[in-house]
Amino acid sequence: MGNCWFGGSSYINRVSSTVKSETPKIQSPSERDRSGESKLPSNAREVEAMRLDSAARNPLTAFSFDELRKVTDGFRRDSLIGGGGFGRVYKGAVVAATGERLQVAVKVHDGDNSFQGHREWLAEVIFLGHLSHPNLVKLVGYCCEGDHRVLVYEYMPLGSVESHLFSRVMAPLPWATRMKIALGAARGLAFLHEAEKPVIYRDFKTSNILLDADFNAKLSDFGLAKDGPVGDKSHVSTRIMGTYGYAAPEYILTGHLTAMSDVYSYGVVLLELLTGRKSLDKSRPVREQTLADWALPMLTHKKKVMGIVDPRMGADQDCPARSVQKAAMLAYHCLSSNPKARPLMRDIVASLEPLQHPPLVAAAVSADVDSLSA
C-alpha cells in the first residue's frame, strides 16, 4: 500500500485552509511550470501527518504506485482514456477497501509536480473523502508516494458531457438526455452549496461533468474547490482561477467568490446543452465567440430561442418548445449580471425536475413562458 497518510481532522482543517487560501490566477500548465513553485513536499513528517480521520464518509484505499502500474498494464497507451493539464487518466480494475472489485479511472498527476499541483491533488482527497452524493464522482483511493500523486475514481463509462456534446462522430444527445444531465449536475452543485460546511466548486464546466452508463451526471475534479464563506462573511477573496467562458464576471473583476459564481457557470453549461455551442469558441465570428454574451439577449424571446437550439437534435417533438423556453429562462436568470438576482441551486433543481416528465412541462412552465416576449 502507499506510504502517504492523512492527518486527523485538525490537520485536514489546517491543510484545507492552506489549499484554499492561495489561489493562483488562471494559468496554463506550462505557465505553472515556469512559476518557480517548490517541488512536492515528501518528508517523513508530512507523510506521517496525512491520514484521513475515521469520521470520513468514504473509506479510501491507499494504493502503492506499483499496484496502480499493474492495474493499468504499466500505464499502457491502450489503457489511456483521457488527459489534460493535470496529467493522464487510465482505465484499470482494483480491489477497494470494501473488498469489491471495481473498474476505475486512475488519474496520474505526475506531469505537474509543483506544490500547486500537490495542493489541488490534496483538495480532491479532502473534499471527496468527506462528501458523498449520487451526483459526485466517487473517490475510491489515492497514491501519495515520493513525487507520485495519483487519484483513483469510480469508472464513468460514457466519459464527459463535453465529449458527447461537441463530438463530430457520436450521436447528438437528445433533449430529454440533456435535461437529465442538467438536473443531475444541478443536484450535485446544490448538495455542495447546502452541505454542513458549504463548498464552492469553482470550476463547473462540461468537461468536469462525467456520465455513467445511464447518462447520470456526476461532478468530478475538485482540485479548485473552496470552502464557502462562513458567519457574516459574504464571499471568499481569492486570486482568479478557473476556466475562461465559464467564470462569473464579478469573480474575474474582484476575486470575490460566492456560491453565485457557481450558479453563473451553471448557466453557461445550460446554454451549451441548449445550443450545442462551446462556452468560448475562437473559430466563430467575434460577436459569437463568447457564448453567454451572444445568447443572453435572445433568451427571453420565444422565436429567437428556438432559433439558437442545437440543430442536431432533430424533430420538434423531441425538443418541445415549452421545455426549451423554460430552460432558456432559467439560463437567463443564472447569467444575471447581479449575483444576488441569480437563483439558488436548490431552486434550479426544483425548476428542472418537471422537465424530466414531458406531460408536466406545460403546467410547470406556463407562467415563465407567458413572461417571454414574442
- Catalytic residue numbers? 203
Question: What are the contacts of 310-313 at 24+ separation with CB within 8 A?
Answer: 310/172, 310/274, 310/275, 310/276, 310/277, 311/276, 312/172, 312/276, 313/172, 313/173, 313/174, 313/175, 313/276
321 to each of 176, 269, 315, 367, how far by Cα in Å?
A: 12, 19, 11, 14
Q: Which of 349, 67, 8 is nearest to 185 (CA)?
A: 349
**Grid coordinates standing for 281?**
469558441
DSSP annotation string for 303-348: HHHHHHS-GGG--GGGS-HHHHHHHHHHHHHHT-SSGGGSPPHHHH
Q: Are 250 and 263 in contact (CB under 8 A)?
A: no
**Grid coordinates standing for 137?**
464522482
- Burial (CB < 10 A; 0-12, 13-18, 19+), residue 79, is middle
Q: Give the Cα separation of 314 and 311 in Å (integer).
A: 6
304 labeled part of a ligand binding site: no
Q: Which of 142, 187, 176, 185 is nearest to 51 (CA)?
A: 142
Strands 148-154 and 139-145, sheet pairing: antiparallel
